[in-house]
Amino acid sequence: MGKYKDTSPGKAFGIVLRELRKKAEFTQENLAFEAGIERNYVSLIELGRNQPTISVIFKLAKALNIEPSKMIKLTEAKTSK
């Protein structure tokens, strides 16, 4: 407890998602199509406005051809530091 500069998991995940999407050279529209979700929803997640559920996380990971746990691992790195 006490004070920490707390980047919420949701926001951190959004940053990770954007980085991975750019690296994969996807547009939000392409990623949304591959993951089977809405394009503007990808935007909301990347901006950290929406906290995705576990099923959405798995969909995104599959679309990006990466393990879900790898995405979470990257997210941890942004939340703790």
Q: For the chain, report the end-to-end CA distance as a whole number of angstroms.
A: 16
> Strand, coil or helix: what is 24?
coil
From residue 46, alpha-carbon distances to 1, 2, 4, 14, 17 in Å are: 28, 28, 23, 4, 6
Question: Does 56 help bind DNA (rule: CB under 7 A)?
Answer: yes
Residue closer to its own copies, measured from CB, 31 or 61: 61
Question: Does 70 help bind DNA (rule: CB under 7 A)?
Answer: no
Question: Does 75 help bind DNA (rule: CB under 7 A)?
Answer: no
Question: Does 53 help bind DNA (rule: CB under 7 A)?
Answer: yes
39 binds, among its own copies, DNA, none (CB under 5 to 8 A by kind): DNA
